[in-house]
Structure 1
């Protein structure tokens, strides 16, 4: 993403821009070179013990070497790592690649948790598939994004109110990005989703089991859709749960997500009002939140649970609450936890809303992988304080309570001044000759707005959208009986989707 006016001027001064014809020729040549790289021989995966504490013997890890830049396939290399948990059944269908989203989410971490008995995956999936947890480039066990932890931890407002605050935000972003470039190397400029999808193809060939089986949640759906565009004929099943549509502008993404987040909180308040186990009878959780945000903006609320470990901020602002509450809305089964967190914050303990602190350059919880990937895939239209304030007004219009605080806003504000240019901007997908693809999305998802799923389904001609009439982010990880999750299982096993237009009330 392109940064503020000063950054644009600096970049323009240091680049020699080709003519339009030359640029097109260069892009075509680079695409042809990258396509040729997709056919390079892939060495078979060498499975060894995983570097996780207490990992059972059955969990194994393997890595492949991939080009940092697919336009130069014989140049510098990066490592992409997966782990594998064998199927419980005697006759598995094959292997299932799994990406939990983010961006920045670690598939190896969730499969490791499953190996310890977390029960995240269904019995049907466990029986019929070897689980392959994917860490995309820049994430987890793969070659990681590394950044200066002091800059990762530097707290600046993403909603500055004056020019001085805006410049602090821009300078933090710029310094952080430069530190990531210095510590990560050229990989920082090649963490885009297209490169990650090409890595997935290298892994598929190295696995040597034929067409791809894939389950991608949230951002993992964008990775899966990108793979379908590049390699439609190499897919067996592709399940996209919680759709992220990369054809939308960053501003549209922000507007839709802000509205979905606000809607989800309102529904949570209504549910709690009818559930005595969720909150004290008569509690007005909406009013409680508003009061907490206003109080924390005046004087940050202590987060005493963070003090012993130093792993999260020792106090919480109103802005922190507005951003971090979104994570507590992702799974409706946690609504009691959110209600308790609000009550605890009112009583002076806002630990549940504290942001993690980086303890090193590639900390497992607080690292630069998410923003580094996002800033290569989405441009920010913000150049000046005025631009930011106009988008703030849009956020307050569509989401008066949260004011637009959401993951999409962290892209809009966090990529101002980022030193690496956008290499994979939003555009319509072109997918031809792919087998049936399954898309699932809840109508009241607080993160991936339902309209995104509708739009993505139109872009993938062979896809079927299954709508879950309900709340929460994604459907596969839901607890309890769920026909939507059952439909995902059936599709992964057989390749058959439910009829178009299927709606489940889960």
Structure 2
């Protein structure tokens, strides 16, 4: 369980839970914000140093889903040494279907950090985005450095990850605290052992620079982009670095880049509590609710009691991994990302309370992207690597976490303690953070649409309000509803507003609100 795992559910995840032309090849420093402004210690390379990358040609080939093409993009491993080692990044596209004049490329990113943009494109965005958008844009994705097909960060074996996900994250005594800190240390050590080459070079700033190389190679004068969840931070960072190259940017399920890690984690804890209360209100109105038929607060107490029971005595799942408190909590959190998962969560909780934890374990496995054969995607490894590089640790000692835990429990009586202790994970990271919290204004960028959902569990609505106010050209679009992100999730009002912006550049009226 990681409080900063911010991922828009893909079509596959939604199904699992029941429930992303003239060339311009100038590279350089003239349009880059300073390293200090971006929160990165890396120096800005010159246009001349980057010219070999902006001048490369992609060799497209058929791949994956019919109609999609794939290629490999080269970028500097270290932007402070662009003439040194290179990193290879996986790119995919599906061409505009027509009719209508082609508007260029539309880059998509589903979030994470650690979510595969190529997988999101091929499984959802490239076939599921509104037809008028796909008609006018080539839909494009690049797996960020360290993610999926782009030299992925690796940390643990499948059995090691199984053990890691079962470690108690609500320690009750010094022995349990030591066991948890040892798990964090072993996770970090595994990443260092298996991924030492890429680990220092997977920051959001570096990925944003990769995106600009891709923009130039594709021949687009400006970058058009839809980023969800963590992808909003990536898109805002791009606008900060390259405001004169920013095109039509949609930042859906926004993060607030100005907040320190501890505050981000506490806000997200409150976001999950808000989402759970919405689930609980729906559940207790049903006669078969496994959390009773009282109030949402009583349902929360019942769930917390159940978690405590699992902490003492896990239940069987039909396989070697029993369902303890850690996995059960992750399973519940996974279902908070989309209200379409609520029926499955009700059933899973009911079964687990009867002694069969298989369904709730399945929800946790979906969150961790664990396959039936016991293997994991690299989502959680990349997630930690990017998060721990982008900002200093929330807390550095167990004493600091213990002191902060009551504020987390106030934010969420159900999830607060576990999410407070999860905030310690970056304390043992083998690479020093290169970023820091800061406001992003992106002076000079054209209108940027920031989308916020009022009961979003992973990216609380107030983050969207804050980012929209920070951006000099930010426009807030509000979805009054449940779930994580808003575009393409059933609101005609949201989809029409974003489609209009993407197709003709007209941003929504300030303060526009949809249901």
CA deviation profile, 1:26-55 (whole Å, cap 9, x unmatched): x999524367655553312211122x4xx2
Confirm or deny: 8 A CA contact 2:465 2:476 kept in the other structure: yes
TM-score (norm 2): 0.83
Return closer, same or farther for 1:469/1:208 CA change in 2, 3 Å cut-off: same
Q: Aligned match of 2:381 in 354, 364, 368? A: 368
Q: Report which stretch shifted further, 244-253 or 331-340.
A: 331-340
Partner in structure 1 of residue 62 of structure 2: 49
Q: Which runs of 5+ in 2 are unaligned?
A: 1-34
Return closer, same or farther for 1:352/1:362 CA change in 2, 3 Å cut-off: closer
1:151 CA drift (Å): 4.0
Q: Which runs of 5+ in 1 are unaligned?
A: 1-22, 308-312
1:317 CA drift (Å): 1.5
Confirm or deny: 8 A CA contact 2:349 2:360 kept in the other structure: no
1:501 lines up with 2:511 in the alignment? yes
Q: Distance in 2 between matches of 1:279 and 1:139?
A: 38
Where in structure 2 are the equivalents of 1:307-326 lying within 5 Å?
Answer: 307=319, 314-326=321-333
1:158 CA drift (Å): 3.0
Where in structure 2 are the equivalents of 1:69-468 lying within 5 Å?
Answer: 69-91=78-100, 92-114=102-124, 120-149=128-157, 150-155=159-164, 156-274=167-285, 282=293, 285-286=299-300, 288-304=302-318, 307=319, 314-354=321-361, 355-356=364-365, 363-364=376-377, 367-406=380-419, 410=422, 412-468=423-479
Confirm or deny: 8 A CA contact 1:245 1:452 kept in the other structure: yes
1:405 CA drift (Å): 4.0
CA deviation profile, 1:355-376 (whole Å, cap 9, x unmatched): 4476899942665111111111
Q: Distance in 2 between matches of 1:67 and 1:248?
A: 29
The DSSP-based 3-state class of the residue aligned with 2:250 is strand
Return closer, same or farther for 1:148/1:261 CA change in 2, 3 Å cut-off: closer
Q: Distance in 2 between matches of 1:383 and 1:62?
A: 41
The DSSP-based 3-state class of the residue aligned with 1:239 is strand
Confirm or deny: 8 A CA contact 1:85 1:131 kept in the other structure: yes
Return closer, same or farther for 1:89/1:45 CA change in 2, 3 Å cut-off: same
1:255 CA drift (Å): 1.6
Return closer, same or farther for 1:173/1:224 CA change in 2, 3 Å cut-off: same
Confirm or deny: 8 A CA contact 1:146 1:361 kept in the other structure: no
CA deviation profile, 1:230-262 (whole Å, cap 9, x unmatched): 011112200000001121011111221111111
Partner in structure 2 of residue 9 of structure 1: none
Confirm or deny: 8 A CA contact 1:376 1:425 kept in the other structure: no
Return closer, same or farther for 1:302/1:279 CA change in 2, 3 Å cut-off: closer
The DSSP-based 3-state class of the residue aligned with 2:99 is coil
1:93 CA drift (Å): 2.0
The count of corresponding residues between Structure 1 and Structure 2 is 465
1:314 CA drift (Å): 2.1
Return closer, same or farther for 1:280/1:175 CA change in 2, 3 Å cut-off: closer
The DSSP-based 3-state class of the residue aligned with 1:301 is coil
